[in-house]
């Protein structure tokens, strides 16, 4: 018998784990056939871990505006379609109601406009309207998360400034923190640590994930941004989590998530997610952990499914000996390479006035692809560079001389041993990527 289906828990334990009253559980069982406990020889109900997750699923549906009858009907329809209900959590209420979707889009548009105008009151009013329309999880996902993504894209296209983006991010985080303070008591004893590795400055996703998990009954502990791997390890004995959840939106922090997974093996389970793992699925096989899914709303269901017995750890793609040799030499020569590249950039008319953050940001992506064992992981970054506007009036044709400076520095200080890097750069300079 699967461990998650083994009848181990009495009614009192299920009440403690889910927060649902005993009388309600008996009514659901009698009227709807969910959950489906077995009986001990004495006649007492015995529930499995799956029964507990089923109850949590039903209460999640209720929090999203369904009646218990509608939630049971959804469960039955998913089961009849051959789907696993615990993983088929509908992403938003907007998907269930076109009218709600249209209204949420209007309030999101109003929230974005207010943030770009630095109008906190108008932004709060727009988000408040969304909260009145749908459950708070949905409002956060549809207005705050998607609104921030729109503002980030506006910055990339040169239609918004970095200070507008920062204002919106800070305001969104403040609203989620307010909701988090009012979240219901946790119903699961085991804690989760939610972390952002070094270099990861996008903190809204992990903060929102903390709230979503708390709403689902998990004891989620958020440790904040840019946390060194050693500090994450130091928190584990005190917090005693079963899971550490790491998030990354960009390629460079994935290197530390990779290191964290290897260091935690045999001690704590690692789950991971974030935009970069959605954009580059090949990254998932580089991490000694479990991919949580492409949407934040999937995390609670997946963790619930894995709580009794996690699946086998996926195989990790090894880093080749060629890459390991190149890594060692690059790290040894990194400072001379940087000095050489910055000198070349300062001399070329198309690159001498670039934003100050851009050279180091590029170095971090090249280093990450090298450390992860596949330079093609940085291909998307070059595509990103070619489309960058950022409000800096970047000169036409700047990307080729920019990459040529990196090529010159690496050739000078790594020679033939830098072939992995120089070959990749030549391919992009030649425009054949």
pLDDT of residue 182: 81
Q: Which of 137, 134, 154 is nearest to 145 (CA)?
A: 137
pLDDT of residue 392: 59
Instruction: Please write the tens of the pLDDT for every residue from 313-339.
Output: 888 888 999 999 999 999 999 999 999
Instruction: Please write the tens of the pLDDT for every residue from 258-273.
Output: 999 999 988 899 999 9
CB 253 within 8 A of CB 200: yes
Please, what is the angle between helix 146-156 and helix 98-116, to 10°? Answer: 50
Question: Using CA atoms, how far apart are residues 6 and 38, in angstroms rounded to an integer?
Answer: 9
Would you tell me how many other CB atoms lie within 10 Å of the CB of residue 81? 9
Question: CA dist 399 to 348, 362, 387, 408, Å?
Answer: 12, 11, 10, 14
pLDDT of residue 100: 74
pLDDT of residue 79: 83
pLDDT of residue 109: 96
Assign 225 to helix, strand or coil.
Answer: coil
Parts of the chain with a pLDDT under 50: 1, 90-96, 432-433
pLDDT of residue 206: 94
> Is the whole model's pTM more than 0.85, yes or no?
no
pLDDT of residue 3: 55
């Amino acid at each position: 018998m699967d461990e998650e289906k083994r009848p181990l828990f009495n009614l009192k334990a299920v009440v403690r784990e889910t927060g649902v009253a005993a009388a309600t559980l008996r009514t659901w069982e009698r009227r709807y056939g969910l959950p489906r406990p077995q009986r001990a020889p004495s006649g007492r109900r015995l529930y499995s871990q799956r029964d507990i997750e089923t109850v949590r699923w039903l209460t999640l549906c209720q929090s999203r505006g369904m009646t218990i009858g509608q939630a049971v009907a959804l469960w039955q329809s998913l089961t009849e379609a051959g789907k696993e209900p615990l993983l088929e959590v509908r992403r938003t209420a907007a998907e269930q109601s076109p009218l709600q979707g249209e209204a949420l889009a209007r309030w999101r548009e109003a929230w974005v406009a207010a943030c770009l105008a630095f109008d906190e009151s108008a932004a709060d009013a727009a988000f408040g309207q969304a909260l009145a329309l749908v459950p708070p999880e949905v409002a956060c996902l549809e207005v705050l998360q998607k609104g921030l993504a729109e503002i980030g894209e506006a910055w990339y296209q040169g239609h918004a400034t970095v200070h507008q983006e920062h204002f919106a991010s800070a305001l969104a985080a403040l609203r989620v923190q307010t909701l988090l303070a009012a979240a219901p008591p946790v119903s699961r004893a085991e804690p989760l640590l939610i972390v952002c590795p070094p270099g990861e400055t996008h903190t809204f996703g992990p903060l929102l994930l903390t709230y979503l998990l708390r709403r689902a009954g998990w004891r989620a502990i958020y440790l904040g941004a840019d946390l060194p791997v050693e500090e994450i390890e130091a928190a584990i004995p005190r917090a005693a989590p079963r899971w550490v959840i790491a998030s990354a939106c960009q390629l460079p922090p994935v290197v530390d998530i990779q290191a964290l997974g290897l260091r935690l093996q045999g001690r704590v389970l690692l789950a991971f997610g974030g935009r970069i793992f959605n954009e580059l699925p090949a990254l998932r096989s580089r991490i000694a952990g479990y991919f949580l899914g492409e949407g934040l709303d999937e995390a609670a269901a997946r963790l619930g499914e894995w709580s009794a017995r996690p699946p086998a750890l996926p195989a990790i793609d090894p880093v080749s000996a060629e890459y390991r040799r190149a890594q060692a030499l690059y790290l040894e020569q990194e400072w001379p390479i940087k000095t050489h590249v910055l000198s070349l950039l300062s001399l070329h008319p198309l690159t001498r006035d670039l934003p100050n953050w851009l050279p180091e940001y590029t170095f971090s992506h090249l280093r990450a692809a090298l450390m992860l064992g596949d330079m093609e992981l940085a291909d998307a970054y070059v595509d990103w560079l070619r489309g960058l506007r950022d409000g800096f009036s970047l000169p036409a044709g700047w990307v080729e001389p920019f990459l040529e400076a990196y090529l010159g520095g690496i050739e000078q200080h790594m020679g033939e041993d830098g072939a992995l890097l120089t070959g990749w750069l030549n391919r992009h300079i030649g425009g054949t990527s």
